[in-house]
Structure 1
């Protein structure tokens, strides 16, 4: 009877993940939004939490409402197809504050609840991107690049370091992975065109991976289709 937290659940992939997780037997879901939840989410059966990835107090307040967790999926992020040459330092900091530090805030706040989860394994997914792969991005001219890519590479390292700290001894059953959801038909995905996969399709694939994750899968860079990516 796992309990899951989906961060960034108001639309797109996050909302689809809420529906998919709730469809799995005996699964309780907490879903986060920044403001009033859309009607579809409010009617889903998920327990709604309000938080902002850039606001410590809102995250700590949300975490105080969650006694125990077995799964955390951090989906919320910011992204535009921008170039570093025209990105101000302040703008780059915005990316890091949301896409990296925001995820760190979630982990710090909800880790006590994760440690109290009833399941033997505690599973964490940071929704990343293939553009965070150093090998893939060399000489790349397509897709999101610039500050978004830089922040996703840092997010991947955040996952590795949480793996190092939480999974090294294997006593608490932690599994921490970054995961590339592929090209999904969402607001962000449509910035690259109109051929992304339906969020529901991606959410099912991600949840299937989530359900079969084992300790030896931790700190690998996963794709939605079950393949792994180079760092």
Structure 2
């Protein structure tokens, strides 16, 4: 896909990877870039190509309204996500349900709404930002891992279902990224602009998966081994 002149929508565009993706798409010559967020005021940008847009992935009315407003989208990036619900065995189950609403049902709702838009535009592309924790067994992060594993499964089936309409479906996996979500963790982190660059590279090359760093590549390989190899 040639990015120049293409219109894109990025959820969770007001910070972190979403903000980095805005900059990368603009640098590659994108046309309109819809900066979707729960509070679009936080997605204001000096570049006139950026259009702040209200979109809460857990509120279907805002998802539907966004699809109607942004009916010229060629590239959809499901980036919005939350973390921190903890263990599925010991933590508050209501927090885990809320995490699943955002990280799994959110991308489902957004892609359901925008798949017809992409079809009308000739197919386009849909990106889902996942995690190396889609595959890892990390004590204390069972809820987040489950949401991303479910989103990975959905991404794979969506890829098969949307192939006939010509939509490129990209799943993005990475370990820890230098954003607010993991600012409290003293671990090696990949920079958000680096991940954004790899995502847009994948769009341009026609790739279906991004393994952005060493942890994601190692865990993908470990899937072929015993379950203990997925523990971190």
The two structures have a TM-score, normalised by structure 1, of 0.83
Identify which of 125, 128, 137 aligns with 1:126: 128
For residues 127 and 40 of structure 2, what CA distance do their matches in structure 1 show? 25
* 2:46 is equivalent to residue 43 of structure 1: yes
* Segments ≥4 residues shifted beyond 6 Å: none
For residues 176 and 54 of structure 1, what CA distance do their matches in structure 2 show? 22
For residues 130 and 194 of structure 1, what CA distance do their matches in structure 2 show? 14
Identify which of 67, 72, 75 aligns with 1:68: 72
Ranges in structure 2 where 5+ consecutive residues have no aligned partner: 224-232
Ranges in structure 1 where 5+ consecutive residues have no aligned partner: none
For residues 11 and 95 of structure 1, what CA distance do their matches in structure 2 show? 18
Task: Give the deviation of 1:225 after TM superposition.
Answer: 5.3
Structure 2 residue aligned with 1:179: 172
Query: When the two structures are aligned, how many residues end up with a matched partner?
Result: 214
Q: What is the 5 A alignment of 1:137-176?
A: 137=137, 140-141=138-139, 145-167=141-163, 170=164, 172-176=165-169
User: Secondary structure, in 3 states, of the residue corresponding to 1:85?
Assistant: coil
What is the CA RMSD across the aligned residues, in angstroms? 2.3
Task: Give the deviation of 1:12 after TM superposition.
Answer: 0.8
CA offsets 1:148-198 (integer angstroms, 9 cap, x no match): 00110000011012122112xx3x211213211432210013233264233
Shift of the 210–33 alpha-carbon distance from structure 1 to 2, 3 Å rule, reads same
For residues 206 and 212 of structure 2, what CA distance do their matches in structure 1 show? 13
User: Secondary structure, in 3 states, of the residue corresponding to 1:176?
Assistant: strand
* 2:219 is equivalent to residue 223 of structure 1: no
The two structures have a TM-score, normalised by structure 2, of 0.83
* 2:81 is equivalent to residue 77 of structure 1: yes
Task: Give the deviation of 1:81 after TM superposition.
Answer: 6.3
